[in-house]
A and B are shown apart, each in its own frame.
Chain A
Amino acid sequence: MKQLLLALAAVIATTTFAQEEDLFDLLDEGENQQITFATFKGTQLINAATNETPGEGVLQYVIAHRFGSFNDDYLYNFFGLDNAQVRMQLDYGVTDRLNVGIGRSSFLKVADSFMKYKLIQQQSGTTPIPVSITLHSTLNYRNARYTDGIEHDLTDRFSYMHQAIIARKWNRSLSTVVSPSLVHFNLVPTANDPNTTAHVTLGARYKLTNRMALTGEGTLLSNREFSGGERFTTPIAFGVDIETGGHVFQLHISNTRAMNAPYWMARNPYSVSNGGLFLGFNISRVFTIKE
């Protein structure tokens, strides 16, 4: 009996000692679910939107320029600066997931508003989520006068873009985005032309250092040729992101000049082959309004 007791005690004691040995292992057994951060530096890749939004209580101001083309009296126009297209944007992080904003562009004097919502966030840990999905919608109003001599309704001036931004950060350097999108113009050249067109944006960024990254994007489109003889091209752009504290500088070269999604995505008349190549930049600055 005594022997049995001794054996039992020894077993219990050993188990406990074994547990002690593993005390530090307990540290690793806890919660390890992590939301992937900083898939992209900015809320925009170049022209295309990324899955990112400013955090809650953050006001963001973005100023963007698209300079004149290289073959349009380039030096006379001071490297295209003299005929730059400009867009300004002000947006706010209502919550960490919801972002709303307004913008004004010199291209066709388009005013816009947009909403972005982080539906799913990429996560690692015990229940990993492989991608982030952000929903993004823009409403655009053309203020520019029509020159076709026809009386236009107010509704003619509206266009829309809706998209699901599917992003993945593969590792700390490489992030990619695939964004199926729909563009709708209330007014199209003829009744034979589609009001709604489908598009897919493909984009990527590769970080060179902690504060610098290369970016690139291109957008496939469903309808290139319209009945009026217009032909629209595939928008492409390459750039570099430079981050300094509260600013992100994005310098790039692209074949587009418009900065509102329906126009650069679905109505881009320029192509590199006939000199349609433009330098441009986006600069964003964030202000924490609510801490």
Chain B
Amino acid sequence: MKAFLSIFALTISLSASSQQYITRQGTLSFDAGSPLEDITATSNSATAVYDAADGKLGVQVLMTSFQFKRALMQEHFNENYVESEVYPKAVFKGKFDDGRAIGALTIHGVTQDVNVPASLKEESGTAHLLVEFEATIEEFGIDIPGAVANKIDKQAKILVDCKMQSR
């Protein structure tokens, strides 16, 4: 019995340590553009963590790491819209479960529950997370002034593409 227990404990400890994945160079992009204005931005320094044993999944990105095509748009994004000095990052904490990412998404200090289709492929020491979903900007308390309301899509399309390595 003791032998069995010790082997069992060992197995857990070994498997657990080999089933965690991480990257700090994940890609996270969004598109909130309209026919009037091209509003897209990409960050290549998103952090993603995943534990295959229990499905725990976390993704985080610094708002100032988003690169826009236009410098002024980037400044407005940080200063007037997401207020990066007060809310420096966007975070998802939750689970990957049966083809879905389920958890809490925090942007601009506001947390919303999300449950969206996702793909996560484990392959020889890597785990590739791919999620494409839409978020309603207003739900995160981000104010869009009337003058530019028709230039910004109220539904931002968000693409997460993170190739994690086992740790």
Contact = CB atoms under 8 A, between A and B. Distances in A.
Given A9-B9, A13-B12, A34-B88, A55 B70 contact: yes
A12 B45 contact: no
Interface residues of A, number: 42
A252 B82 CA distance: 30
Taking chain A's interface residues, is the majority helix, strand, or loop, or is none over half, making it mixed?
A: mixed
Contact of B79 (A20, A37, A93, A291): A37
Contacts, number: 114
B79 A38 contact: yes
Given A23-B58, A27-B49, A37-B64, A54 B71 contact: yes
B154 interface: no
A196 to B, nearest CB: 35
A2 interface: yes
Nearest to B57: A23
Interface stretch (B15-23, B119-127, B129-137): B15-23
Nearest to A290: B69
A19 B167 CA distance: 11
Nearest to B8: A9
Interface string A1-43: 0110110011011011101100110111011101101100000
Interface in A125-157: none
Contacts of A172: 79, 83, 85-86
Nearest to A172: B85
A133 to B, nearest CB: 20
A6 B72 contact: no
A23 B145 CA distance: 38
Contact of A286 (B6, B9, B17, B72): B72
Given A246-B72, A288-B70, A211 B9 contact: no
Contacts of B22: 26
B69 A288 contact: yes
A288 B83 CA distance: 23
A6 B148 contact: no
Interface of B: 2-3, 5-7, 9-10, 12-13, 16-17, 20, 22, 24, 45, 47, 49, 51, 53-54, 56, 58-60, 62, 64, 69-72, 74-75, 78-80, 83-86, 88, 91, 93, 145, 147-148
Given A16-B16, A26-B47, 5 more contacts: A2-B6, A20-B54, A26-B49, A55-B74, A291-B69
